[in-house]
Structure 1
Amino acid sequence: MTDQQNDQNGPDQTIDQYAMQDPTKMYADKKPDEQYLEGSGTDAEMAENVPADHGEDTYRGAGRLTGRKALITGGDSGIGAAVAIAYAREGADVAIGYLPEEQEDADRIIGLIEAAGAKAVAIPGDITSLEFCEQLVATAVEQLGGLDILVNNAGKQQNIDSITDISDDEFDETFKTNVYATFRITKAAVPHMPAGSTIINTTSIQAYAPSPNLVHYAATKATVNNLAKGLAAQLAPKGIRVNAVAPGPIWTPLQPAGGQAPDALPSVGEETFLGRWGQPAELAPAYVFLASGESSFVVGETLHVNGGMPTP
């Protein structure tokens, strides 16, 4: 390894999606301490401590999605924000759905989409509502002039150690956010999607290796994963490809907002082969690949981006 490569991979390394870098040393400056964010959490709050990397300063597009029209749920922060930035820089117009209380995050991502020369559409609302799920798709189709990429990404995760402490309301809201919304939004979107369109569900390592403190969340992600595979078979004859991405531990607002216990945050990621948290920017290329024509023969696939966590 050269001195230059060592410099690039140290604590102050410059991340470059196209450069050869030591993945065990990347993001050495982004190890969180104990913290807790109220509500759903925001990237704006995380930036006060350890900000996540969404590829704002690093993602370079190559026209892989020129002319495409994408809707991303949870597109204001975390993985969804990284995907929104990447899609815009690849040439797609992008609509993002998000909770109204996350407006600050959404405004920032809308600005980055527009800075890439793409059209940006902001659609605030709560995806646990059937009415909003239908409105979300209708607005995206109207404002974008069509729809050919759907990313079902928004999610709810709360760590609870015992099943006896999971309330019916908590269980219900988790399924409404992660499963019902995916079903409802996809159902509303499919009639608008021409042949060549793609649908990508965000599942999780939890669908394959559930943690004992995330049993209800893990159950939703297994459902979302299975839904993608069943829909892939159903929609492939129409020329619509359905796939999924299964992240491992990724540093997003979902984690300090109850997704993990505050005292666990400093050590999460150590169980991966790379021994660290992943960053949203490291997920974006997977979503670009699955949305682009480069993956034309990839159908019903779950693409694991988890730092090396074995899956069945």
Structure 2
Amino acid sequence: MNEKDMYTSKDIKGQTQAVPGKESKMDPEPLYDNVDNKGYGRLKGKTAIITGGDSGIGRAVAVAYAKEGCNVAIVYNIADGDANDTKGVIEGYGGRALLIKGDIGDSSFCNEIVDKTIKEYGALDILVNNAAEQHTQKKLEDITDEQLLRTFKTNIFAMFYLTRAALPHLKEGSAIINTSSITAFNGHADLLDYSSTKGAISAFTRSLSANLADKKIRVNQVAPGPIWTPLIPSSIEKENVKHFGKNTPMKRPGQPVELAEAYVFLATDGSSYMSGQTIHINGGMIVNC
């Protein structure tokens, strides 16, 4: 099967969903697993927390980690069906998945996430700060105080809350991996608040990597371009969804599975000399920073 058939066997339809979108209702459904990759035990015996692990990029990462022998705690907000589907896939590969439901914008819930993970698995080695929300607005004046606060709480405040709760349990060799975005570097005219949070995540990643260097805890980030996830039909106008990703040099959106290996790499000893860095996965768009 060639690349075009593998990743774009169906054209993306113009569609919308209520926030937050559900992967099970997308047409076509995103690709989150490479069934030909059975895993190599690269994360055997380790434990990871993955926010937004029920769908999209988070689901792809959770499945890839499980195939590498990692226990996963999947944090999600509303989509019970997506979360249980992901858990089923992981268990089908012989892995272990703990589902934790709630709002990561609440610092007390972030403490609860870590407590439940430690209680279930006895350790924590990897933290993937991935969950995010976005709301398209054509004008700055249309961004309400409520939207602004909500976006910042989910996208960047939660990273502070959860990382703060996790740090007492992380140790030498542990990894923190944040999901930034190409919008942090190139901006986006209709995603002012979202892009601003992603810029904050990039600064957080670089600053935290310096802060934790003496503890030998590595902090890196992945900056995706246009990836076909539930965030898209739930936040972009129907007509724009049909053309999503076609402005890239590869002329298509990326699939979540195409990012998973980067998150695996950043969690393993293969990236032992990397911290404060960004991996750009965006269909060939050049980011000069």
Shorter-normalised TM range: over 0.9
Please list, as runs of the form range in 1=range in 2, the aligned pairs for 1:61-100 lying within 5 A after superposition: 61-99=39-77
User: Which residue identity lines up with residue 39 of structure 1 in the other structure?
Assistant: V
| Alpha-carbon distance between aligned partners in 1 of 2:81 and 2:227, rounded to the nearest angstrom | 21
CA contact (8 A) 1:31 1:277 kept: no
For the residue of structure 2 that corresponds to 1:243, the secondary structure is strand
User: Which residue identity lines up with residue 124 of structure 1 in the other structure?
Assistant: K
**1:115 aligned to which of 63, 73, 92:** 92
Counterpart for residue 18 of structure 1: none
For the residue of structure 1 that corresponds to 2:123, the secondary structure is coil
| Alpha-carbon distance between aligned partners in 1 of 2:212 and 2:154, rounded to the nearest angstrom | 23
Please list, as runs of the form range in 1=range in 2, the aligned pairs for 1:1-312 lying within 5 A after superposition: 8-9=1-2, 23=3, 26-46=6-26, 49-55=27-33, 57-99=35-77, 101-258=78-235, 260-312=236-288
**Structure 1 range deviating more: 81-90 or 28-37:** 28-37
| Alpha-carbon distance between aligned partners in 1 of 2:50 and 2:36, rounded to the nearest angstrom | 20
| Alpha-carbon distance between aligned partners in 2 of 1:114 and 1:132, rounded to the nearest angstrom | 25
User: Which residue identity lines up with residue 276 of structure 1 in the other structure?
Assistant: R
Deviation for aligned residue 1:31: 2.5
Deviation for aligned residue 1:97: 0.3
Deviation for aligned residue 1:266: 1.4
**Structure 1 range deviating more: 67-76 or 25-34:** 25-34
Which one scores higher on RCO, CA 8 angstroms, separation ≥ 6?
2
Counterpart for residue 4 of structure 1: none
RMSD of the alignment, in Å?
A: 1.2
| Alpha-carbon distance between aligned partners in 1 of 2:118 and 2:239, rounded to the nearest angstrom | 43
| Alpha-carbon distance between aligned partners in 1 of 2:156 and 2:23, rounded to the nearest angstrom | 24
User: Which residue identity lines up with residue 128 of structure 2 in the other structure?
Assistant: V
| Alpha-carbon distance between aligned partners in 1 of 2:118 and 2:140, rounded to the nearest angstrom | 40
| Alpha-carbon distance between aligned partners in 1 of 2:103 and 2:34, rounded to the nearest angstrom | 26
**Structure 1 range deviating more: 183-192 or 56-65:** 56-65
User: Which residue identity lines up with residue 78 of structure 1 in the other structure?
Assistant: G
Deviation for aligned residue 1:30: 3.5
CA contact (8 A) 1:70 1:147 kept: yes
| Alpha-carbon distance between aligned partners in 2 of 1:269 and 1:75, rounded to the nearest angstrom | 23
Deviation for aligned residue 1:193: 0.5
User: Which residue identity lines up with residue 307 of structure 1 in the other structure?
Assistant: G
| Alpha-carbon distance between aligned partners in 2 of 1:215 and 1:31, rounded to the nearest angstrom | 28
| Alpha-carbon distance between aligned partners in 2 of 1:243 and 1:28, rounded to the nearest angstrom | 29
CA contact (8 A) 1:272 1:308 kept: yes
Deviation for aligned residue 1:58: 4.1
Unmatched tracts of structure 1, length 5 or more? 1-7, 10-22
For the residue of structure 2 that corresponds to 1:208, the secondary structure is helix
How big is each residue's C-alpha offset from its partner over 1:20-42, in whole Å with a ceiling of 9 and x where there is no partner? Answer: xxx45642223312111012011
**Structure 1 range deviating more: 132-141 or 205-214:** 132-141
| Alpha-carbon distance between aligned partners in 2 of 1:163 and 1:266, rounded to the nearest angstrom | 25
For the residue of structure 2 that corresponds to 1:31, the secondary structure is coil
CA contact (8 A) 1:56 1:85 kept: no
Normalising by structure 1, what TM-score? 0.90
Deviation for aligned residue 1:211: 1.2
Normalising by structure 2, what TM-score? 0.97
Unmatched tracts of structure 2, length 5 or more? none
